[in-house]
């Protein structure tokens, strides 16, 4: 089992001290969220709250994940990083491949790419992308990133993206794991076919059992069930060592936690966050 610090939306000044502490106390990774901008009004509901309302406001800080990861990689030596999740369908895949390959090159390969689609119509409209094709374009984008991120000659001729032979340098020193998010049938199929693993939003154990069953089924259908596959999970109802062992029995390979919510104090204070990391390491990681 590996352990990941799942960063919420934080002030920029918190990222580097949290990354240093996470590495010092034994975490394996840090996961960074993604949001490009906050539309004042959105024409669709947020899919992960009962009433469809966003649980953050316009002033909530979101660092660009690639900038944040680069900065944290520069002050650590062992810690890995991932996006959770990058809204791939609102970005051009060659530009994503360029950023990822550059970070991989300067960090000695300490980056994984968690990807999703985005649910906000205004993001697609204002960034010049077609929301109706977001799933198919994400499939092609994953293929493009895999083909180009290691710095080899590649060309691609798909329905949505088309280019002749090109090379992106510097290349990543090895394959960059791509983890696919989503609990919909389409998201599960995408993870099974194209992903090196699946990455979750906050999820209950019962929901996780259902997703695991569907992933196993789709991996058998896709013929990918013999290759390694990661399960990176933020549990909404399991918060202790014994519970994490039960999640491992379900196939979870990486527990993602935001531990300063477990121990009391003001969760927005950096000192509380740093203390939560240390206490989680003592209570869980070291005992594991």
> Does pTM top 0.85 for this prediction?
yes
Work out how many domains the chain is built from and give that number. Answer: 1
Question: 223 is in which domain, residue-wise?
Answer: 2-285
Cα separation values, 219 from 131, 196, 254, Å: 27, 11, 19
Tokens of 109: 């390969």
Q: Specify the pLDDT at position 48.
A: 87
Q: CA 232, CA 230: separation in Å to the nearest integer?
A: 6
Q: Specify the pLDDT at position 79.
A: 98
- Inter-residue long-range contacts of 134-141, CB under 8 Å, 24+ positions, other chains counted: 134/89, 135/89, 135/186, 135/190, 136/160, 137/89, 137/161, 138/88, 138/89, 138/190, 139/190, 139/193, 139/194, 140/93, 141/88, 141/89, 141/91, 141/93, 141/96, 141/115
- CATH number of residue 54's parent domain: 3.20.20.30
Q: CA 69, CA 116: separation in Å to the nearest integer?
A: 18
Closest CA to 237 of 218, 250, 223, 227: 250
Q: Are 109 and 174 in contact (CB under 8 A)?
A: yes
Q: Specify the pLDDT at position 138.
A: 98
In DSSP notation, 117-181 reads ----HHHHHHTT--GGGHHHHHHHHHHHHHHHTTS--EEEE-SS-EEEEE--SSPPSSPPPEEEE
Blockwise average pLDDT, block size 10, the chain, 288 residues = 97 98 98 97 93 95 98 98 98 98 98 97 98 98 98 98 98 98 96 98 96 98 97 96 96 98 96 98 96
Q: CA 75, CA 71: separation in Å to the nearest integer?
A: 7
């Amino acid at each position: 089992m590996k352990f990941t610090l799942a960063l919420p939306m934080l002030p920029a000044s918190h990222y580097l001290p949290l990354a240093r502490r996470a590495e010092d106390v034994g975490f394996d990774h840090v996961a960074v969220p993604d949001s490009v901008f906050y539309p004042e009004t959105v024409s669709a509901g947020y899919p992960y709250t009962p009433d469809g309302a966003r649980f953050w406001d316009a002033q909530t800080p979101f660092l660009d994940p690639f900038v944040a990861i680069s900065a944290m990689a520069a002050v650590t030596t062992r810690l890995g990083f991932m996006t959770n999740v990058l809204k791939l369908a609102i970005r051009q895949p060659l530009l994503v491949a360029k950023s990822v390959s550059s970070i991989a090159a300067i960090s000695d390969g300490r980056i994984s790419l968690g990807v999703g689609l985005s649910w906000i119509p205004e993001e697609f409209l204002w960034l010049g992308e077609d929301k109706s094709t977001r799933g198919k374009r994400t499939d092609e984008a994953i293929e493009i990133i895999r083909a180009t991120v290691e710095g080899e000659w590649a060309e691609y001729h798909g329905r949505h993206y088309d280019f002749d032979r090109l090379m992106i340098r510097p290349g990543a020193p090895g394959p960059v794991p791509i983890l696919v998010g989503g609990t919909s049938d389409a998201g599960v199929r995408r993870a099974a076919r194209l992903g090196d693993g699946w990455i979750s939003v906050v999820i209950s154990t019962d929901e996780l059992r259902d997703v695991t069953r569907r992933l196993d089924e789709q991996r058998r259908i896709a013929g990918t069930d013999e290759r390694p596959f990661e399960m990176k999970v933020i549990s909404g109802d399991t918060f202790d060592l014994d519970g994490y062992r039960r999640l491992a029995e379900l196939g979870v390979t990486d527990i993602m936690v935001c531990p300063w919510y477990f121990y009391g104090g003001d969760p927005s204070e950096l000192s509380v966050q740093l203390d939560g990391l240390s206490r989680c390491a003592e209570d869980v990681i070291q005992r594991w």
